[in-house]
Chains A and B, each alone.
Chain A
């Protein structure tokens, strides 16, 4: 009975992990909020309470009611349905932008760490500094000025800004790992730097990457909302939370509900992701939890 694996049930699910997840309030709340919004986005692919492409001017600017839980907008469209479809845009933009950041940033960081102090390391890190000088909004402005506004350009702008974030994080995580005995053992065994980076270093920085990925995901949602709000992101008729807020701005004095709900959707999604990021960090690094909470 003293088998240390007794907490693993016959199906192989690690119950201890789930118990930890739900004993951390922030992680549990974050997970629930995130699941609600990803669930709404997925559901909108097959069903929304109302069709968002049909305009119903007779039904415009209605406050919340039993028929329209969050009211209707200036074209008579159901705001709940718009928010569900908008979640899709926000999540898609943020996921792809984090993907771009990781795809380019992680290998660059691994490479820089493996060749620490070389000209290439210096070059990679200086290029990263350079990108940091261009906030995502400025990249978006440059792209839009020459290629016009679109959701794709917003993805590129946010994604490019994510590259140095992941490159720096991977590099600093990898640098400490290169000093460890198991890496030394792998070197003695004759593995080259590329194999060590992918077989030994990468799996050990995954936790760091997951936590940072969650944070960049939430920043991506905020950035997408900001870009669409100023007209540099998704273009109509694609619904997006930022665009809904921009549309509501001139009507805020007599239709505040049009501004309230899309904003709340952004706030709760970002809050959920941030709580999840905090919770995951504590879960992966219990030392930090004891020191800081």
Chain B
């Protein structure tokens, strides 16, 4: 297991290094002169020179890359050009919205998907199964930002149970904060829950055809008992993998959903940075998101190997 973890760790570090090079090339090298891009076509030469100096753009690409990465490793993400504040500080502020939102959505989708998938599998072909499969088919197809808009219309504008957008801030207390994240979290969770419930169902149905389930049934267990005691644990493995893989979709979804609800999270930050051409912020936030995706996938792989020893040997 230690050898397997080390191997994965090496590949993780390589992935992150290559990803950082790709991001750096795409944002700082491809556009030519980032300073000219940031200031626009009418910029004076001395203003450009001052900005280049301020951003440290006078060095070679390699030197700039190492400064960027070296800084990041020490928690220094550079200084935002438009806000004149450290990018790390801005990201820290925005994470107070984005992280709880992502976690709430992840929890919600799991809490909905597990019982729904288990119910559908244990009563295959019943009305409940058909209903759950129908709803999840819709849930997979619905654009989550549109679903979010419909929820705003019903629960914020018509029923007035929630605010239509904005974030109360954690200073106002835990409850108002959670309340402003509820609708966004539901909007994010619905498609994920639908996918997860479908996978839970088919994974359980696959497991139910295995020999050990037949043995359990032969011993006198009912279908439901065999499902609860033996099938569920085995069916969970692919489901956990999917939860990990879905994390990147959750992140991408959060970026869009934050815009529907005007939440001051990483998603809003990145779009504000794009419109104000604040490349340093774009670069750092994209790197941070990629880091998060890669780390979660790494964690899933390790967890998977812990559960299923065959995997360690085969790689």
Q: Are B270 and A141 in contact (CB under 8 A)?
A: yes
Instruction: Considering the complex, give the chain B residue whose CB is closest to the CB of A268.
Output: B141
**Nearest CB in chain B: distance from A1 CB, A:** 38
Q: Which of A125-178 contact B (CB under 8 A)?
A: 126, 129-130, 132-138, 141-147
Q: Which of B23, B142, B149, B282 contacts A267 (CB 8 A)?
A: B142
In this complex, the member of B15, B19, B30, B149 whose beta carbon has the largest number of chain A beta carbons within 10 angstroms is: B149
**Nearest CB in chain B: distance from A186 CB, A:** 28
Q: Are A230 and B271 in contact (CB under 8 A)?
A: yes
A252 to B156, CA, bound (A): 11
Does A80 reach chain B (CB closer than 8 Å)? Answer: no
Does B61 reach chain A (CB closer than 8 Å)? Answer: no
| Chain A at the B interface: SS class | helix
Q: Which of B130-185 contact A (CB under 8 A)?
A: 137-138, 140-143, 145-146, 149-150, 152-153, 157
| Chain B at the A interface: SS class | helix
| One of B98-106, B255-263, B306-314 at the interface | B255-263
| One of B85-93, B217-225, B285-293 at the interface | B285-293
Does B57 reach chain A (CB closer than 8 Å)? Answer: no
Q: Are A137 and B202 in contact (CB under 8 A)?
A: no
Does A271 reach chain B (CB closer than 8 Å)? Answer: yes
Q: Are B138 and A138 in contact (CB under 8 A)?
A: no
Q: Are B282 and A263 in contact (CB under 8 A)?
A: no
Does A81 reach chain B (CB closer than 8 Å)? Answer: no
Q: Which of B205, B256, B279 contacts A229 (CB 8 A)?
A: B256
In this complex, the member of A133, A135, A143 whose beta carbon has the largest number of chain B beta carbons within 10 angstroms is: A133
Render A93-123 as a binary contact track against B, CB cut-off 8 A, 1 for contact. 0000000000000000000000000000000
Q: A146-B27, A267-B142 are in contact. Are A292 and B202 (CB under 8 A)?
A: yes
| One of B74-82, B235-243, B244-252 at the interface | B244-252
**Nearest CB in chain B: distance from A229 CB, A:** 6
Q: Are A252 and B140 in contact (CB under 8 A)?
A: no
Kindly list chain A residues whose C-beta atoms are within 8 Å of the C-beta of B145.
226, 229, 245
A169 to B20, CA, bound (A): 27
Render A228-254 as a binary contact track against B, CB cut-off 8 A, 1 for contact. 011100000000001001001100110
Does B53 reach chain A (CB closer than 8 Å)? Answer: no
7 contacts between A and B (CB under 8 A): A147-B31, A252-B152, A252-B157, A262-B146, A263-B146, A263-B149, A271-B138
10 tightest CB-CB pairs across the interface, nearest first? A263-B146, A135-B252, A271-B141, A137-B252, A270-B141, A146-B31, A145-B282, A142-B26, A135-B248, A133-B293
> What residues of chain A have their CB less than 8 Å away from a CB belonging to chain B?
126, 129-130, 132-138, 141-147, 218, 222, 225-226, 229-231, 242, 245, 248-249, 252-253, 256, 259, 262-263, 266-268, 270-271, 274-275, 291-292
> What residues of chain B have their CB less than 8 Å away from a CB belonging to chain A?
11, 14-15, 18-19, 22-23, 26-27, 30-31, 37, 137-138, 140-143, 145-146, 149-150, 152-153, 157, 202, 205-206, 209, 248-249, 251-252, 255-256, 259-260, 270-271, 273-274, 277, 279, 282, 286, 289-290, 293-294, 297
